[in-house]
A and B are shown apart, each in its own frame.
Chain A
Amino acid sequence: MMDFIVIPILALLAATAVTVARIRNLWAAVMFTGIYSFLSASWMLILDAPDVAFTEAAVGAGITTILMLATLSLTPRRHRKSGRLSSEDFEERPSKSPLFPLLIVTITGCALVYGTFDMPHFGDPNAPIQVYPEPSFVEKSQPDMHGLPNVVTAVLASYRGYDTLGETAVIFTAGIAVLLILRKNTDDKDGSESQAVTGENV
C-alpha cells in the first residue's frame, strides 16, 4: 500500500531534478527547486522524520525560494535603465558541450553505487547506525526532558543544546555577512537593495 505513495514521489523527485538540470529559464528552475524541496519533504515524512520534513518544507521550499526569487529580480541579464524586462533576460545562455561533465558525473555515480554494496539494507534494524549509540537514550530522554514525548526535540534542545546554540551563531554570522556584502557606499537604488535584505532576515 505504501508503495503506491512512495514510488510516485520518488519518480517525481527524479523527474523534477532532471527538469531543473535541463530547463533554461531561471524563474522556472527556481520554482522547480521549490517543488523538489517539497517532494523531498514528503519522502522524509514517509521515512519517519516529521521534524525534518516540516523544516525542509518551510526552509527549503519556502525561504530558499523567496531568497532566490529576490536575487533573480536583482540580476537580469541586460542592464537596462528603462523598459520592461522580458523572460529572455532571465534565461541562461546555451552552455558548452555537456559530454565531459556528463562523463565525470557518470563515473562518480558508478563509484558511489559500488560503494553502496557494503551498506546495510534499507530499514535494517541491525544496521550499525541503529545499534551503536545504545538506543536506550530514546526512553531516557523522557524523564530527562520532563515528559517531552518528541525524542528529536529532546536531543536537539537538551543533549545537543550547545550545538543548536552554535547553529544560531552561524545564522547570526551569515546575516551580518549578507548585510556587509550588500551594503553600498552611495545610497542610490535603495529600494531594490532593502528588498533583498528583508528576505535574508526572515
Chain B
Amino acid sequence: MTEFLGLYNYWIVIFLMMTGFYIVIARENLIKTIIGLNIFQTSVFLLYITMGKVTGGTAPILKGSHGGESHGGETHGAENHGAEHGQELIAAAEGHLDSGVDAVVGVYSNPIPSVLMLTAIVVGIATTALALALVVRIREEYGTIEEDEILEMDRNS
C-alpha cells in the first residue's frame, strides 16, 4: 500500500478533473458547462505541475555566485563552466544529492511543465472568452441559456 501513496498527487488531480467532467456532462446550463470546463482545465495544469516537482527541489530560479549581482566577467566564466555545471546538475537529478553539488548548483524542479502551462493558461482564457461571447449571442437569439430549451426550440422551428 505504501508504494501507492506516492501517487496521491495524481489521484487528487483525477478527482478534480472528474468533478469538472461531471459538471460538463450533467448540467444543462451553458455557463455552468463553461465553469466545468474551466475546472477540468485547471486540473490539467495541476497534473503537469505536479509531474515537474522534484523532492527537495526549489523553484527554477538560479542562485549562486554568478547570479544577479555579478554580471560582466562572471557571465563569461559561467559560459566556460556551463557544461560542467550541467553534469553536476544531472548528478543531482539522479539522486546523488550530497556528492558533487557545490554552492552554485542546487536542486531545481523541472521548469518545462511551468513553461508549457503558462502558454496553456493564456490560450485557455482565450477559448473561455470566446465561449462566453457565444453564450451571450445565444441568449440574444433564443432568450435562454438552458441547453434543452434551446434544442427544443430548434426542433419546433
Q: Enumerate chain A interface residues (CB-CB to B < 8 A).
A: 10, 13-14, 17-18, 20-21, 26, 29-30, 33, 36-37, 40, 43-44, 47-52, 55-56, 59-60, 63-64, 67-68, 70-72, 74-75, 77, 79, 92-93, 95, 98, 101-102, 104-106, 108-109, 112-113, 116-117, 119, 121-127, 129-131, 133-143, 146-147, 149-152, 155-156, 160, 163-164, 167, 170-171, 173-175, 177-178, 181-182, 196, 199-200
Q: A138-B111, A178-B130 are in contact. Are A143 and B85 (CB under 8 A)?
A: no
Q: A59-B122, A75-B31, A131-B93 are in contact. Are A182 and B55 (CB under 8 A)?
A: no
| A77→B115 contact, CB < 8 A | no
Q: A17-B19, A122-B53, A136-B90 are in contact. Are A71 and B136 (CB under 8 A)?
A: yes
| B8→A122 contact, CB < 8 A | yes
| B117→A142 contact, CB < 8 A | no
| A136→B49 contact, CB < 8 A | no
Give the shortest distance, in Å, between A101 (CB) and chain B (any CB): 4
Instruction: State the total of A-B contacts with C-beta under 8 angstroms.
Output: 317
Instruction: Write out the residue numbers on chain A whose beta carbons fall within 8 Å of the beta carbon of B146.
Output: 92-93
Instruction: Write out the residue numbers on chain A whose beta carbons fall within 8 Å of the beta carbon of B36.
Output: 20-21
**Residues B124-138 near A (CB distance < 8 A):** 124-130, 132-137
| B21→A105 contact, CB < 8 A | yes
